[in-house]
């Protein structure tokens, strides 16, 4: 997509823990409320069976709506569970390995914190997108943030699509909308009373 001219799309990030008896319906409501380009399964657990069950359940929801589903880190679960790709957390380090393992048709994206260099390297190694963040202030992590200037530079200089994620608020979404291809929306909606309604409200801030 053209960075400066087209509206950014929504890249939905699941909670790090959720109840499989209720969350698929909550996700479905979000996908039915507004267009979503991709969903990232981002469970924090190391229980492979639990992750596998979640992957299967969410694939039914996303597949029925023709929305891509990628999984965080666990590239070996992509093919067995019919997922569309993997989201890596180690910048450019695993991109080449993931691409070789999953093939050219799979989605391979990676989180690059606020490193312009890591983002460019990941793109050169075959990443389909890179994500930068957190864009907002948060007590978590090491205090680094991905600033507006990074996204403005990237949108002018680099063709690889970019995701803005982490501690987003209304002002940040308005400021970043001209400079990012996707907004990674997750914690911003899941803690609210009506995630789908909140998502629609955030989408309205992206323009159009």
pLDDT by residue for the chain (208 residues), tens only, comes to: 334 358 999 999 999 999 999 999 999 999 999 999 999 999 999 999 999 999 999 999 999 999 999 999 999 999 999 999 999 999 999 999 999 999 999 999 999 999 999 999 999 999 999 999 999 999 888 889 999 999 999 999 999 999 999 999 999 999 999 999 999 999 999 999 999 999 999 999 998 6
Distance CA 63, CA 69 (A): 8
Q: Residue 143 has what pLDDT?
A: 86
Q: Which CATH architecture has domain 9-204?
A: Alpha-Beta Barrel (3.20)
Distance CA 147, CA 178 (A): 14
Q: Residue 2 has what pLDDT?
A: 36
What are the sequence ranges of the domains in the chain? Answer: 9-204
Please check whether residue 121 is in contact with residue 160, taking contact to mean a CB–CB distance below 8 angstroms.
no
The per-residue b/e assignment along 139-154, b for 16 or more CB within 10 angstroms, e otherwise, is eeeeeebbebebbbeb
Q: Residue 140 has what pLDDT?
A: 83
Distance CA 90, CA 88 (A): 6
């Amino acid at each position: 997509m053209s960075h400066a001219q087209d509206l950014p799309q929504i890249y939905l990030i699941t909670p790090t823990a959720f109840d499989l008896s209720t969350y698929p319906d909550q996700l479905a409501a979000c996908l039915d409320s507004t267009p979503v380009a991709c969903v990232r399964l981002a469970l924090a657990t190391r229980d492979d069976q639990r992750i596998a069950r979640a992957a299967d359940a969410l694939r039914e929801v996303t597949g029925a709506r023709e929305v891509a589903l990628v999984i965080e880190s666990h590239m070996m679960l992509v093919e067995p569970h019919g997922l569309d790709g993997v989201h890596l957390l180690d910048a450019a380090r695993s991109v080449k390995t993931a691409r070789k393992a999953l093939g050219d048709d799979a989605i391979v994206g990676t989180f690059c914190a606020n490193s312009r260099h890591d983002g460019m390297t990941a793109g050169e190694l075959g990443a389909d997108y890179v994500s930068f963040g957190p864009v907002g202030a948060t007590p978590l992590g090491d205090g680094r943030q991905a600033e507006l200037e990074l996204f403005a530079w990237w949108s002018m200089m680099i063709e690889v699509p970019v995701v803005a994620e982490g501690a987003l608020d209304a002002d940040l979404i308005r400021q970043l909308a001209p400079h990012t291809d996707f907004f990674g929306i997750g914690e911003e909606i899941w803690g609210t009373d009506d995630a789908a309604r909140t998502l629609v409200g955030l989408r309205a801030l992206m323009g159009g």
